[in-house]
Structure 1
Amino acid sequence: MTRCVRPFFKKLRAAQAGLACLLAVSAAHAQQAASAPAGTPNTLDAVKVTGQRSNGSVDPSIVTAAKNKVLSRRFASSCAFMSGYSAAEDEVTLAYLRDFNMLDNPSSEAERFSDLSPDGNAKAQGATSPSDAGIDTASGLSTQTPGVACAGSDRRFAAGRNWIARKDKSLQQAFDAYEAGQYAEARAKFEEGWKKLGYEEAALMLARLHLLGLGTAASAPKAVEWLREVVDARYDPVADRLTFDPQKPDNINTRVEAALLLARIYLTGQGTPRDPAQAYKWWRKALDYGFEPAGTLLAQAHLSGIGTPVDVKPALAYLQAAGEAGDATALFMLGQLYHHQLPRQPAGVPLDLNRAGAYYLAAAKAGHLDATYQAARMMDLGEGATAPAPERAVVLYKDAALKGNADAQNALATYFYRGEVVPQNLATARQLFQAAAGRRQPDAMFNLAVMLAQGQGGERDLAAAYAWCTLSQRLGHAQAAAALPALAARLGPEDKARADAMLKPATPKP
């Protein structure tokens, strides 16, 4: 039986962040590892659907935020409701005006827009005409109103919505019904909220219900209609644009969620003809809306020719922009490109180990586990300008291993097995191999089989050794395939029966 060896380092798979969430797929935007090969866009790029919570109850702040989106001056759809500046809202300015006896001056306050006075408070200010009160007579807008242009009728409509929203409970009731699994009632309440106040959250959840067939017949076209209600709403590229926070990549808005869900529908052809070009379009929209990781999706599309011609130049540009914005997956992919670690390495990107290592380290600092492993591996093997640095490599291996990276667990286990850099500890090595094997790491499966067969770090178990060696061989491990016949010859009838039971677990009774 061959001894435990250093892992056969396999090419890593492409990561897709943080996209964290579409249709309740984990924001394990997978945190960083996707099941698709590197360079292939993850077809399950997901974004958290508003309203889902782990504690089984609805957070009231979501409903409050939804109402604020309808009414706040910060969003274009509100027509800058209550946007007129008032000294009464500013304590510092108010104190200043008080000190200089300016509170009685009509010019101390600009026109205000409220549900009680949707056309402004020109009369209250003592103005004799709209223009005196700072109102553009052509548009009906205050000259100090920020955001997109709104006509007087738009402002009166927004004021009416505020009046309704004060007592509206439809959105809260819709989320409560959804969390309770009462999907038909939830659908009715979401529809009510949409009709009354145009909640984007309601439209997004209605799209989800129609897509999954919850409380209604499954209908992708109907889901697309509801998603279009979100993305086609009035939009101010300044006020409505998402400010991406790499520390909180799941904190996104409904417009981004809708765009990513549209991309997923068209990419997978879920209930509608598959159209990768449309998927590319909606990834581009998500980027326009401020979701920086969408640039990583666009880069993957350019590398794979998904919805757009293969072209490494825009792929690099998108990745660099996303990386600068803090997307760890983009940094990791840049490391892969310059390390020539993609299964389909594009032409035009030179092998640059120093640059690859720098990108891996940057992604590792951002918490990307695969990048942490790759940075450790480069230090371990001395790739780049520096000599091998196993002491530094072990630190990074440990960091990634403790967070569940199977390749790092396997690599760290070999150090404990051999007693290199760290004191030899066969029990720890066996535990680490066991953890990595449970995550389908083929080298760890084989290494664990060796330790089980020889009784290293614990009791000898030939049946378990044969089972793990078989699983490793099935994943293409050459050494496992070579060792399997010799190991099989050592099994007694009882061991063989137990190994077969491990490999073919009994089907549970209904």
Structure 2
Amino acid sequence: MQSIDISPTPSPRRERSRPTSSQGRSFGSSQSSGTLTLAQRLTNFGLPRAVLIGIQRGDVDAHLTAARMVSDGKPANNPAWTTAAELFQAAADKGDLEAAFQLGWLHFAGIGIAQSDIEAIAYWHLVHSQSSNAIMKSIAMFMTGCCCYLGRGTQLDESRAHQFFCESMTPEFPFGRLLVYGDGKTESFSPVAVGFFQLCQLGSDHDWFCRHLVAKCMLGGFGVKKDREFAVGIMHELAYQGYSISQFALAECYCMGLGVPEDPVKGIKWLTTAANQGNADAQFALGGCYCKGEDVTQDHAKGIEWFTKAANQGNADAEFALGVCYCKGEGVTQDYAKAIKWLTKAARQGNAESQDWLGDCYRDGKGVPKNTETARSWYQKAAAQGNKNAQTSLSKLR
């Protein structure tokens, strides 16, 4: 597996980040592995003389070229990745954002460098906050969202994670929330998709979550030929190891018949397992099943219980669902004050349906004083996200 160059075309001027505290360190002469300096070890890789001279002079592009050349085709456990990591580090220390992007992956999976979620998320944050490269920016933002979702290198915060997922979505990189809610319709063989899959595959022998991402890519054919049966096999393995996000993904596969025969009983089993582990998305989904009577005996009280658990973790979908239940008096005593509370929480997270419902409440004076301008403001927010009901209500508002 090679180091992936995610730049669609060569850039005449490479992006630079702000200087770091370690900037100026000379990797061409002072770094060593055993008794050999980096420059001495590089001669063993048969690199072009021009590249070696560039490294000795501290040229960033030479460091990146060498990093790709020494790691090209190498599995993650090959010692060459240690050298590649040093070269990427040298470029990153001089402010190169592509090198920072690559270092995020290497730190995340512990390839050629010490495993560190904190370092990984720091490098990805640097990329998505400073880079103008849309591809790197989207993937770095997505991986930052994953760290928030998993609580790796940062506090576990599913609400913040979903915001990163939504912001990371572009036509070239539409993965986003499909990490969690996936119907298997992510097929793409674009250079970005292929590069992303290769990065995930590179780390899959070292890191369980990279393996999870490999399965999600194979489930939908994102950057790789679709192989749902193999993907479900990976999900099974990870689910039995106790990873709730994989348990939730496996539940979806059984409920929708993706890679396995459709089996709602097994779907509910894995959904419940993930929910009991505190996975807010699974709790929300399970709440929906009980409220609608889908694959389980309808039980509004249980549905509200699961919605509440998810909402208390900041899950916007669950907050919206609770708001609707209190508005309609479904499974609970009708209570517009509580409805407004939960709808507002979800709306402030950008949930378009909650914004639309909140607009209705302010327009009609349900649970709040009637206020046309506040209603208009919420309708506008929802309409801007493509909510048809809000667009219609906005056009009729006087």
TM-score by length of 1: 0.45
Once the 2 structures are TM-superposed, how far is the Cα of residue 474 of structure 1 from its aligned partner?
Answer: 3.2
SS of the aligned residue for 1:308 comes to coil
Equivalent residue for 1:299, pick from 208, 211, 215: 215
Once the 2 structures are TM-superposed, how far is the Cα of residue 379 of structure 1 from its aligned partner?
Answer: 1.0
State the partner residue of 1:473. 383
SS of the aligned residue for 2:111 comes to helix
Paired residues for 1:33-72 under 5 Å: none
Residue 221 in 1 paired to residue 65 in 2?
Answer: yes
Equivalent pair of 2:362/2:374 in contact (CA under 8 Å): yes
For residues 293-321 of structure 1, the C-alpha deviation after alignment (integer angstroms, 9 at most, x for no partner) is 22222212212323432121101111111
SS of the aligned residue for 1:306 comes to coil
Residue 333 in 1 paired to residue 249 in 2?
Answer: yes
Q: How many residues align?
A: 269
Equivalent residue for 2:277, pick from 348, 366, 371: 366
Residue 446 in 1 paired to residue 352 in 2?
Answer: no
Once the 2 structures are TM-superposed, how far is the Cα of residue 282 of structure 1 from its aligned partner?
Answer: 5.1
Once the 2 structures are TM-superposed, how far is the Cα of residue 454 of structure 1 from its aligned partner?
Answer: 2.2
Distance in structure 1 (CA, Å) of the matches to 2:239 and 2:29: 39
Equivalent pair of 2:204/2:211 in contact (CA under 8 Å): yes
Inter-CA distance 224–329: structure 2 relative to 1 (3 Å threshold): farther
Give, as a single letter, the amino acid of the residue that structure 2 aligns with 1:430.
Answer: I
Equivalent residue for 2:203, pick from 286, 290, 297: 286
State the partner residue of 2:20. 181
Equivalent pair of 1:334/1:359 in contact (CA under 8 Å): yes
Equivalent pair of 1:295/1:321 in contact (CA under 8 Å): no
Equivalent pair of 1:335/1:355 in contact (CA under 8 Å): yes
Distance in structure 2 (CA, Å) of the matches to 1:301 and 1:307: 7
Distance in structure 1 (CA, Å) of the matches to 2:368 and 2:192: 55
State the partner residue of 2:342. 432
Which of structures 1 and 2 has the larger relative contact order (alpha carbons within 8 angstroms, sep 6+)? Answer: 1
Paired residues for 1:383-398 under 5 Å: 383-384=294-295, 386-398=296-308
Distance in structure 2 (CA, Å) of the matches to 1:478 and 1:426: 24
Distance in structure 2 (CA, Å) of the matches to 1:388 and 1:466: 36
State the partner residue of 1:232. 78
Distance in structure 2 (CA, Å) of the matches to 1:257 and 1:425: 55
The answer to which structure has the higher helix fraction is 2
For residues 412-468 of structure 1, the C-alpha deviation after alignment (integer angstroms, 9 at most, x for no partner) is 112222344434432221121111112221210111101111233233321121121
Distance in structure 1 (CA, Å) of the matches to 2:356 and 2:243: 35
State the partner residue of 2:98. none
Give, as a single letter, the amino acid of the residue that structure 2 aligns with 1:233.
Answer: P
Once the 2 structures are TM-superposed, how far is the Cα of residue 349 of structure 1 from its aligned partner?
Answer: 3.7
State the partner residue of 2:291. 380
Distance in structure 1 (CA, Å) of the matches to 2:35 and 2:367: 65
Give, as a single letter, the amino acid of the residue that structure 2 aligns with 1:221.
Answer: T
Give, as a single letter, the amino acid of the residue that structure 1 aligns with 2:234.
Answer: Y
Give, as a single letter, the amino acid of the residue that structure 1 aligns with 2:219.
Answer: L
Inter-CA distance 322–444: structure 2 relative to 1 (3 Å threshold): same
Instruction: Pick the structure with greater CA Rg.
Output: 1
Distance in structure 1 (CA, Å) of the matches to 2:60 and 2:108: 28
Which has the higher mean CA deviation after the structures are superposed, 390-399 or 278-287? 278-287
Inter-CA distance 448–269: structure 2 relative to 1 (3 Å threshold): closer
List runs of 5+ in structure 2 lacking aligned partners. 1-5, 7-16, 38-57, 82-106, 128-134, 138-189
SS of the aligned residue for 1:184 comes to coil
For residues 458-504 of structure 1, the C-alpha deviation after alignment (integer angstroms, 9 at most, x for no partner) is 333211211211222333333223322221x2xxxxxxxxxxxxxxx
Distance in structure 2 (CA, Å) of the matches to 1:233 and 1:313: 33
Give RMSD over aligned pairs. Answer: 4.2
State the partner residue of 2:239. 323
List runs of 5+ in structure 1 lacking aligned partners. 1-42, 44-177, 200-214, 236-250, 490-510
Equivalent pair of 1:339/1:351 in contact (CA under 8 Å): yes
Equivalent pair of 1:433/1:445 in contact (CA under 8 Å): yes
Distance in structure 1 (CA, Å) of the matches to 2:223 and 2:208: 19
SS of the aligned residue for 2:212 comes to helix
Inter-CA distance 458–257: structure 2 relative to 1 (3 Å threshold): farther
Give, as a single letter, the amino acid of the residue that structure 1 aligns with 2:268.
Answer: G
Inter-CA distance 258–304: structure 2 relative to 1 (3 Å threshold): farther
For residues 271-303 of structure 1, the C-alpha deviation after alignment (integer angstroms, 9 at most, x for no partner) is xx94866754553443323x2222222212212
Inter-CA distance 183–353: structure 2 relative to 1 (3 Å threshold): same
Equivalent pair of 1:379/1:392 in contact (CA under 8 Å): yes
Equivalent pair of 1:338/1:350 in contact (CA under 8 Å): yes
Inter-CA distance 319–230: structure 2 relative to 1 (3 Å threshold): closer
Equivalent pair of 2:203/2:210 in contact (CA under 8 Å): yes
Give, as a single letter, the amino acid of the residue that structure 1 aligns with 2:208.
Answer: E
State the partner residue of 2:111. 255
Distance in structure 2 (CA, Å) of the matches to 1:225 and 1:198: 19
Equivalent residue for 1:485, pick from 387, 395, 398: 395
SS of the aligned residue for 2:225 comes to coil
Between the two proteins, what is the percent identity of the paired residues?
20
Distance in structure 2 (CA, Å) of the matches to 1:223 and 1:234: 9
Give, as a single letter, the amino acid of the residue that structure 1 aligns with 2:355.
Answer: M
For residues 91-127 of structure 1, the C-alpha deviation after alignment (integer angstroms, 9 at most, x for no partner) is xxxxxxxxxxxxxxxxxxxxxxxxxxxxxxxxxxxxx
Equivalent pair of 1:338/1:355 in contact (CA under 8 Å): yes
Equivalent pair of 1:269/1:275 in contact (CA under 8 Å): no
Which has the higher mean CA deviation after the structures are superposed, 226-235 or 475-484? 226-235
Equivalent pair of 1:184/1:216 in contact (CA under 8 Å): no
TM-score by length of 2: 0.56
Equivalent pair of 1:230/1:255 in contact (CA under 8 Å): yes
